[in-house]
Amino acid sequence: MALLEDPSRIPDWAPAFADAVTGDTQSGWRIMKSGQDFALRVVVMQDAGTVDYLREIAPGREGGAYIRVIPRPRGGSVVVMTVPLAPDAQTAAIAATLRDELNALAALASSS
């Protein structure tokens, strides 16, 4: 949860999503990706094990990654990430990117 709750760590495990993250909880988070800048709202519910990364996807509409961290009975956690896909999305490429991100997240968590 600690890695996911800290948006400044997103480039460490999800470089396809963010090259850099600036801001903070008070001023708001900003994501830089390929020269573009957008706002990110992070919603954390520690007791529920949820972290949601939300951005405006259309005027007045938010969407993004919905992440759930579920404790395992013998230690460790299971991370479930849900992301919206456009109808014409290349699902195999997106699945490969998500696999790489989750593997990087697991490696970072185990080294902490």
- Per-residue pLDDT, 26: 83
In angstroms, the CA 90 to CA 65 distance is 17
CA nearest neighbour of 1 among 58, 39, 45, 61 = 45
Q: For the chain, how far is it from start to end, CA to CA, in angstroms? A: 12
Question: Residue 84 in 3-state DSSP?
Answer: coil
**pLDDT tens, 82-97?**
988 888 999 999 999 9
* Rounded average pLDDT per 10-residue block, the chain, 112 residues: 94 95 90 94 96 92 94 91 90 93 93 80
Homologous superfamily (CATH) of 2-111 is START domain (3.30.530.20)
